[in-house]
Amino acid sequence: MLLLKSGLLVDPSQNICEQMDILIENGKVVKLDKNISASPEMEIIDAKDKVVAPGFIDMHVHLREPGYEHKETIFTGCQAASRGGFTGIACMPNTQPVADNEGVIELILARAKRYDLVNVYPIACITKGQKGKELTEFAILKECGAVALSDDGFTVTNSGVMRRALDYAKMLDLLIITHCEDVDLGGSGVMHEGLVSTKLGLAGIPKEAEEIIIDRDIRLAELTNSRIHIAHVTTRGGVEIIRAAKKRGVKVTAEVTPHHFTLNHEAVTGYDTATKVNPPLRTKEDVEALIKGLQDGTIDCIATDHAPHAREEKEVEFVYAPFGITGLETAVPLAWQLYLAGYLDLLQLVNTLSTAPARILNIDRGSLQVGKIADITVIDSRLTKKVNPDNFYSLGKNTPYKGWELTGWPVMTIKDGKIIMKKGEVNG
């Protein structure tokens, strides 16, 4: 039995934000109360001055395994996730081979189970080989454990194929997650197209490359009455398209990454390849629109798009570096800035990191109601420290936040009632 005493319980599923004790037994929440009496058989955790929330879920993570273990492995990715305050992660299918068949899905699940650090929810490909032509076997992929479908870094450019994917997914109640990029319009761009790209002499990616596909995919979801999730929204226009679609009743949800609401394209000045990400960092006006989208619920959740790369891959000229930022171990304190700045209250913040992702992925998490599985994230709202990528569990050290002093770090994760991470140290 595990008893968390005197923590500030923040649970959007119950609209609770108050000091409360939590008693856990056999991996489940068995009691919530103001003052639960301790007994000798209980392990007591003093959670005073800490925020206690349903376990955080990151629905956009690249674990790289199989095929790219020099960038990340399932083990190191799960360690990084736990240290970062996550009890669940959904992993993208751009492995080698790609996750377009049951063999890869089963491998991911088996290894995640072996390590038992976080819940791992595989996302399978929409099309075979991520080629955008032939649909994968959705039913088989769902049966073997896929929670959603995405071609991830590739857009399904053929609208007919995308329509059939949405129709098929609807029959199986599977979520389609779309990477929205008109690659012909984006061309050889490596950052946001604007004044900064001109000054730096770098080819740009216009906002319209993203917004055109957001609009198309939402229209196809509306046509088929299907669910669709827009990954890593970055532009004001994209937020406006999603907001209008929600008002029409379209079944659309969306996510934003910490790097897109904390950085803008001016961060690329200096050619730091850690700022090279796709979709790119946009303008200050776009950042403001993203935060507004989180405030009013247009954007449902925060996801990291954790994209680790080997050091030697990023330590090249900006044009030749791969896109991607490693995000699992900095996401929570970066998101905490939204609370400190008064943009989101605690219920809103926890919702974007836990309850909303669980709802979108249709998994039974994101709540600390009595009887629910005890997946818990504990945050020290007063803990301030500098980001040091050399101490990351992740193999990817490619972060633009090196040296940033941030407040609001996760200090404990509990999965299935067992303490996995405590004070930054991960068991296993």
- The catalytic residues are 305
- Using CA atoms, how far apart are residues 126 and 124, in angstroms rounded to an integer? 7
Do the beta carbons of residue 225 and residue 250 sit within 8 Å?
Answer: no
Q: How far apart are the first and last CA of the chain?
A: 21
DSSP 323: P
Residue 226's contacts (CB-CB under 8 Å, 6 or more residues apart) are 166, 167, 169, 170, 176, 220, 251
Do the beta carbons of residue 306 and residue 62 sit within 8 Å?
Answer: yes
Residue 69's contacts (CB-CB under 8 Å, 6 or more residues apart) are none
- Using CA atoms, how far apart are residues 85 and 350, in angstroms rounded to an integer? 12
Distance of CA 344 to the CA centre of its chain: 18
Radius of gyration of the chain (CA): 21
Q: Report the sign of the C-alpha dihedral through residues 310, 88, 153, 351, in that order.
A: negative
Burial of 411 (0-12, 13-18, 19+ CB in 10 A): middle
In 3D space, the residue among 9, 3, 1 whose CA is nearest the CA of residue 378 turns out to be 9
